[in-house]
Structure 1
Amino acid sequence: MKNFYYMGIAGLLFFFVLSCSKDENSALFLKRDTDQLSFAYEESNETFTVRANGSWSIDLSEADWVSVDPIEGVGDGETVQIVNVTASRNVGDMRNGIIKIVSGEKEALINISQEEGKVIFGTPYFTAGLVSNFPLEDTYLVIPYNKGGLEEGVSVSTQISGIGSAGIQVSNTDVDMSSENGEVRLPITGTPTTDGQVTFNIQILGQTLIVNTAVREQGNNDPIGTVYLSQDFDLLVLGGDHVGNAQGLHLVGTWPTEAGLRVLPPNPAYAVSGTRNTDGTGDYFATMHPTFVASRGLEGWTGLRVYERPGYIKIGTAASPDGYLATPPLTAIAGWADVKVKFTAARWSESGSLDPNATVTVRVLNAGTSDDANREISLTPGWTDKEIIVEGATAETVIEFRARNAGNGRFLLDNIEISKVIK
């Protein structure tokens, strides 16, 4: 009888355990492989996995800047399901959110974040100045930027204010910022009618850019691009080609003199000799006769420690700190004009230890100003183009190109052009 009793108890226990096991197997569970995802500011992708033994779905109500694929599914309790997450391009501050995975009454959360992605705007500038009663043709307000890479067009709105704003128009527009780095170009149209300050208030990608400028009267009626001075040194033929690493022509024999200054003989003979480092003449303005300097197209120019090279000049010596070349006064300018001073320059590079820090400084003398004047401009052993803008140049303006105030500051100069711009 006891055996039957114990057998009954054992059966009940077995049934109870079996029932509990079935309940546990049928209970919903939900697992994900991470609770944190981070994204770069660009449109980017990450993944996480879901394992569940029933249907599940994803709630993005606290993460509206991401999309997921798939957004729902059914798990068998064993299979790991992969979910792809795409974060849209961030153009604002760092942002955070929560991806919520729901299965029945169970929830699993994944915290997400994306780094700050504001487009970085540089200093705006105008392609031409705003001059009263001067039509604005092909004139743009240019805004450099980086951290672009935006797939869709970007809306830009602009408001203009100030005394000088009369007659100026800037239309609201959409611009392409698909390049990672580039420029936004806003067309400026109309004809300014009043001198005075102008403020451009630009709204773009949630940012406000303020640009202040001024409308002023035109200094003269010369067309934009009028060349007031041009010097390509093509009349210079003597000396070694330092930049081109070649010997050059030199006068055969000695230089005759007049009043102690060198002149060419009646029938000069030349021969290739010397090295790339050999000057073709003495110092133009200390040892060469003014008639010779004039024959090289440099009448009216002044300078010190200036030496002839084929198609260009050398300024300075190894020991001197005071070499320079100065233009004649810009007498072609009537009234006043803003001008662009363009030139090509290279530094001396005889060896690694000589003239590695050679620079050129442009000075504006007598009339006119420039934000870039009186600053040392770095040079390389090869030719590079340089330019500065001078405001308010007149017939008295002289432009000077000066070596650095130290020894071993030799540099080479070519292709000087001074032309009118509207700043």
Structure 2
Amino acid sequence: MKTTNYYKIKAMSKVVFAFVLSLTMLLTSCKDENEVKGRFMLKDNPSKMEVPSRGSSETYTVQSSGHWKVEPQRKEKWLKIDPMEGNGDGTFTVTVNKNMAQEARNVTLFFTVDGQLHNSVLKIEQAAGTGEGENEEPYIYLDGKPIKLESEEAGAVTNYVLRANGKWRLELEDQPEWVNVEPMEGQGDTPVKVTIDKNTDLERTANLLFFLDGVQQENVLSIYQKGQKLQVSGDLVLKEDFNWLSYGSEIFNVTTGETRIGSWKEEDLAKGWTSTINTTTGASDYASIYGRPGFVKLGRTNYGGDLISPKLENVQRTKDLLVTFKAVRYATGDHYLLTVGVNGPGTVSVKEFDIMNVASPNSNLEACRAAWQAPAATYSFEIKGATAETQVWFLGGAFDQRAGNWPKTTNRIFIDDVVVTVK
């Protein structure tokens, strides 16, 4: 009779199971090890930076999936790396000082990703110095020897190292106001910063000239900045809906929570809207305008307040503008005058508006919202001869509204949806 040894089969099953489990763990471990090691490479895969004795700098682009660090083989005073670390894709710049010794020098840069050493390296090799007593050809240039610097409309700040073996001076041809170079003179190798302002006009160019020991050199750096299309009628200059304000209530006669501009949050003040301090006797020396949910209230009992826009920096050259806005009077019992104007260049076509649009009752949310939507809520005026320095100005009534100085002691106006376009 044939019998089956179940003990041996059971034992064999355990062995097979243990083997499969071990193999699975080994494969998983290998897989995890490969996955943990972060991705890292230098764009175009450079392996060596060859530097002349006079020094140089080079910017490298990092493509990485994690937190990377540049780890020099050893610390060297003649070598600067900035920044030494970063997250994800980025750049770092290697600057090598002039080699005064008559021996070549080198150092190797290693890289880590998320704390693990990567197999990429970058070797820095610099030629020996020329040695004392040898005559060196005069030179002056920016690292990388660029012949053209290009900038977007938003402007830019670019840092260079100027290399020179003498006393040098820089000069901007025709002295354009939109380019600034610091410093403009010096001796030997020196960091130089080129700042280009925002451009709201057409494209523009400038030339940076180089002088060494008083003599103008042949090299010229051309600075080019992209421009915007020339503005035409209807182009938007400013659009403000004040939706970033969130103080108090939408209901006009509920003043709880409304906040005067001096106490607005920092991010609200950063929008650039300002107001004049009311110095009328008894006005407590603060601006009398208040933030509400998505709109602004001008004035309080006995004292008026004004609202001043940021500079209209998007205006190209000198333009005629159209300003539209919405306004609602606080209550039927208030005085109704709104004065408008500009700070800076320009003149307005209309100086005063009678704001007859009012919510009735002003204690009802639906009535308040309807007042904003009514055709009578929208007003407009023109500004002739505006520039990027012009600011739009609104004043509810007058600064002094005390009895005997103004028709009524209250002249409170709500303002919203200010839009400025090219006429």
TM range (shorter): 0.3 to 0.5
TM-score (ref. length: structure 1): 0.36
TM-score (ref. length: structure 2): 0.36
Q: Indicate the structure (1 or 2) with the bigger Cα radius of gyration.
A: 1
